[in-house]
């Protein structure tokens, strides 16, 4: 299917890469973005990194008139608009709910008037809360959690109610969500609203649950962005990356180029509809190890600082089972972490990176969200 595709939030990190991927594949691309200052700076303008062939509309997804303009003549929609920040969502509750939840609702109402052939919505690993764990005898343990007493005692690893240790395993889409932040709740609301509306109105819909994306164009001034961008900002300013807990948390870091590939496939594979899919690299690594790898790639002899503190809403281990995306989409992640980091480093060489980590940490601490 070729034609015109709308990307809401398309001037952002992932959206801009998806725009380039689709343009290269022969689609026409229109981008709708409000250019929020936390991501794009105090005097935002169309980002230089957004492909010049993409049509750009400045506007808010919550405005029905703006959406009518953006949706005119469109064949498919990628809905990427969202405020992003687990910690920040816990005190900017109204704003996160308005942009993420209400914005999606307004878009879906306008799609009743502007019928399209497919809808792809960006979801998030955050909806899982903790990933999937198994007991020592290999039985799935679906409701793993850590209480305040355990965290205050710095007992970081997950244990069962009977005291047995739990082991993390790749998390499949069938794992029941455990919503630990307002951001996670809003992302789950986004994906489920789109899937429910898609079923009701015969609109093929795909929800893609992105894991930890990284790559060029990620905002370096936003302290609530992806962890690799936060680490990079610290390292480029000669400062140690700060890691919560003991740094042994397992995560999956996926190149934005692989995410863009999955997004294009979600549009082009006709059988992909009414489905939720994990999008990651398929490999897990500790947060400490990824910080050290990034320092080496950037040529910085700086070790991370393990803080021993925790953030309310943080999870211990979560990394994806991507077999469903491989089967349904033919998705094949091809960018290794080392190659992706080298690419990121090449882009960082041309950037100025303000370090706002302490500002974020103090903001959360003042509200009792860092302990």
Tens of pLDDT along 243-284? 999 999 999 999 999 999 999 999 999 999 999 999 999 999
Name the pLDDT band for 44 (thresholds 50, 70, 90): confident
Enter the tokens of residue 139: 């039985």
Half-sphere exposure of 358 (CA within 13 A, CB side): 6
Has 78 been annotated as catalytic? no
> Is residue 371 included in any domain, yes or no?
no
pLDDT in tens, 121-163: 999 999 999 999 999 999 999 889 998 899 999 999 999 999 9
pTM of the prediction? Answer: 0.93
pLDDT at 356: 58
pLDDT of 339 above 90? yes
* Contact in structure between 34 and 10 (CB atoms under 8 Å): no
pLDDT of 312 above 90? no
> Is residue 370 included in any domain, yes or no?
no
Distances (CA, A) of 249 to 105, 146, 148, 161, 166: 35, 14, 18, 21, 14
pLDDT of 355 above 70? no
pLDDT of 314 above 90? no
Region 329-353: mean pLDDT is 89
pLDDT at 236: 86
Residue with tokens 């690893």: 157
Region 336-361: mean pLDDT is 77
Enter the tokens of residue 129: 């809360």
Within 10 angstroms of residue 109's Cβ, the number of other Cβ atoms is 12
Please state, rounded to an integer, the average pLDDT across all residues of the chain.
92
> Is residue 30 included in any domain, yes or no?
yes
Of 170-184, 212-226, 292-306, which gets the smallest average pLDDT?
212-226
Q: What are the DSSP calls for 235-271, one per residue? A: HHTT-PPEE-TTS--EE-EEEHHHHHHHHHHHHH-TT
Q: Percent of the chain at pLDDT above 90?
A: 78
CA-to-CA distance for 119 and 74, rounded, in angstroms? 11
Query: Which bin fits 164, alpha (ψ -120 to 50), beta or left (φ > 0)?
Result: beta
pLDDT at 353: 58
pLDDT of 364 above 60? no
Distances (CA, A) of 231 to 87, 156, 211, 293, 300: 17, 22, 17, 11, 12
> Is residue 28 included in any domain, yes or no?
yes
Q: What are the DSSP calls for 135-163, one per residue? A: -TTS-EETT----HHHHHTT--S-B-TTS
> Is residue 290 included in any domain, yes or no?
yes
Name the pLDDT band for 354 (thresholds 50, 70, 90): low
pLDDT at 159: 94
Q: What are the DSSP calls for 176-203, one per residue? A: PP---SHHHHHHHHHHHHHHHHHHHHT-
Of 15-29, 111-125, 135-149, which gets the smallest average pLDDT?
135-149
pLDDT of 333 above 70? yes
pLDDT of 361 above 60? no
pLDDT of 226 above 90? no
Half-sphere exposure of 270 (CA within 13 A, CB side): 2
Three-state DSSP state, 361:
helix
Three-state DSSP state, 308:
coil
Region 338-364: mean pLDDT is 74
Residue 352 sits in a domain whose CATH number is 3.40.50.720
Name the pLDDT band for 294 (thresholds 50, 70, 90): very high
pLDDT at 357: 55
Q: How many domains does the chain have?
A: 1
Helix (H) or strand (E) holding 134: strand 132-134
Name the pLDDT band for 106 (thresholds 50, 70, 90): very high
Q: Domain span at residue 107?
A: 4-365
pLDDT at 288: 97
Give the active site residue among 78, 128, 183, 217: 183
pLDDT of 335 above 60? yes
> Is residue 300 included in any domain, yes or no?
yes
Region 11-30: mean pLDDT is 97
Distances (CA, A) of 130 to 85, 143, 155, 246, 356: 17, 8, 16, 17, 27
* Contact in structure between 253 and 290 (CB atoms under 8 Å): yes
Backbone angles phi, psi at 89, to 5 degrees: -65, -20
């Amino acid at each position: 299917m070729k034609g015109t595709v709308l990307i809401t939030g398309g001037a952002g990190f992932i959206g801009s890469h998806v725009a380039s991927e689709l343009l290269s594949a022969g689609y026409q691309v229109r981008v709708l973005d409000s250019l929020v200052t936390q991501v794009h700076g105090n005097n935002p303008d169309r980002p230089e990194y957004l492909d010049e062939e993409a049509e750009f509309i400045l506007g808010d997804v919550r405005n029905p008139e703006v959406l009518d303009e953006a949706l005119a003549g469109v064949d498919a929609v990628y809905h990427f608009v969202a405020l992003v920040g687990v910690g920040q969502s816990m005190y900017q509750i109204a704003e996160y709910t308005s942009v993420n939840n209400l914005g999606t609702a307004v878009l879906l109402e306008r799609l009743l008037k502007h019928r399209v052939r497919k809808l792809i919505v960006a979801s998030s690993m955050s909806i899982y809360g903790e990933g999937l764990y198994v007991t020592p005898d290999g039985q799935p343990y679906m409701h793993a959690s850590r209480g305040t007493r355990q965290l205050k005692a710095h007992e970081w690893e997950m244990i069962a109610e009977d005291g047995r240790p739990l082991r993390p395993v790749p998390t499949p889409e069938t794992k029941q969500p455990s919503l630990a932040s307002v951001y996670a709740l809003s992302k789950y609301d986004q994906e489920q609203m789109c899937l429910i509306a898609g079923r009701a109105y015969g609109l093929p819909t795909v929800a893609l649950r992105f894991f930890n994306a990284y790559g060029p164009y990620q905002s370096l001034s936003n302290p609530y962005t992806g962890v690799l961008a936060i680490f990079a900002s610290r390292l480029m300013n000669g400062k140690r990356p700060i890691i919560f807990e003991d740094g042994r948390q397992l995560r999956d870091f996926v190149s934005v180029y692989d995410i863009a590939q999955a997004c294009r496939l979600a549009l082009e594979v006709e059988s992909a509809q009414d489905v939720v899919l994990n999008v990651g690299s398929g490999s897990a690594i500790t947060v400490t190890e990824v910080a050290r790898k990034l320092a080496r790639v950037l040529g910085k002899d700086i070790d991370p600082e393990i803080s021993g503190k925790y953030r309310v809403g943080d999870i211990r281990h979560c990394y994806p089972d991507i077999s469903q995306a491989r089967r349904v989409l033919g998705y094949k992640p091809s960018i290794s972490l080392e190659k992706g980091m080298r690419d990121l480093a090449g882009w960082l060489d041309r950037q100025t990176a303000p370090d706002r980590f302490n500002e974020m940490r103090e903001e959360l601490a003042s509200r009792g969200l860092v302990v």
